Amino acid sequence: DIGSRAPTPYEDALFGLGAVSVTLEDAADDPVLEPAPGATPLWPTVIVKALFGADTDAAALARAIEETFPDGPRPRFETLGDKAWEREWLKDFHPMRFGRRLWVCPGGMPAPDPDAIRIDLDPGLAFGTGTHPTTALCLEWLDAQDVRNRRVVDYGCGSGILAIAGARLGASSVRAVDIDPQALIATFDN
């Protein structure tokens, strides 16, 4: 917990020490509301977490962090078990209904409604499962529209969920666009 200190020096130092990833988390349960354009707000107090490879010497890493930030918080270490972390989220992902007939189903799970229009979805490392409110609202809106013989654009496609919904609902043409290469891979795979 770095409190109200600026996190950038910690992020930079941890990456410099070989971190695979660095995550900033809210230390107290303070909301970050809609920021102004171009603003990147953070919480008043922040926790910095870093992920290192299993072969990292924790004692040497702790010494290096303490030397870099002698007045900073002492690092704590936790060993994570080896898992397919990119798949771990699936344990909590179940078929979800959007609107009257549209169902998003992970990993080939069946939809409870036999007349459902199914979207078989595996977002991989991309954003988009239908759980985010804006995605859910778009899916509900699409379900309520007659998109047959219409064109659909999924701009910022992530997993391709909205593009796939448009196609499954009968759109004559669907375009999926994103700047994230992982999103394009996931959309293509889905």
What is the per-residue pLDDT across 154-171, written as a single tens digit (0 to 9) for each?
Answer: 999 888 899 999 999 999
Q: Please say whether the beta carbons of 163 and 117 come within 8 A.
A: no
- pTM, full prediction: 0.59
Q: Beta-strand (E) ranges in the chain?
A: 21-26, 46-51, 96-98, 102-106, 117-121, 151-155, 173-177
The mean pLDDT of 107-134, rounded to a whole number, is 77
Q: What is the pLDDT of residue 182?
A: 84
* Among the listed residues 126, 117, 132, 131, the one whose alpha carbon sits nearest the alpha carbon of residue 164: 117
The confidence band for 140, taking pLDDT boundaries of 50, 70 and 90, is very high
| Tokens (6 digits) for 79 | 């060993």
The mean pLDDT of 63-72, rounded to a whole number, is 90
The confidence band for 111, taking pLDDT boundaries of 50, 70 and 90, is confident
Whether the pLDDT of residue 125 is over 60: the answer is no
End-to-end CA distance of the chain: 39
The mean pLDDT of 126-134, rounded to a whole number, is 73
How large a percentage of the chain has pLDDT more than 70? Answer: 91
Q: What is the pLDDT of residue 45?
A: 86
* pLDDT greater at residue 105 or residue 19: 19
Taking all residues of the chain, what is their mean pLDDT, rounded to a whole number?
A: 85
The mean pLDDT of 87-95, rounded to a whole number, is 70
Q: Cα torsion at 163, 156, 89, 82 (round to 10°)?
A: 120
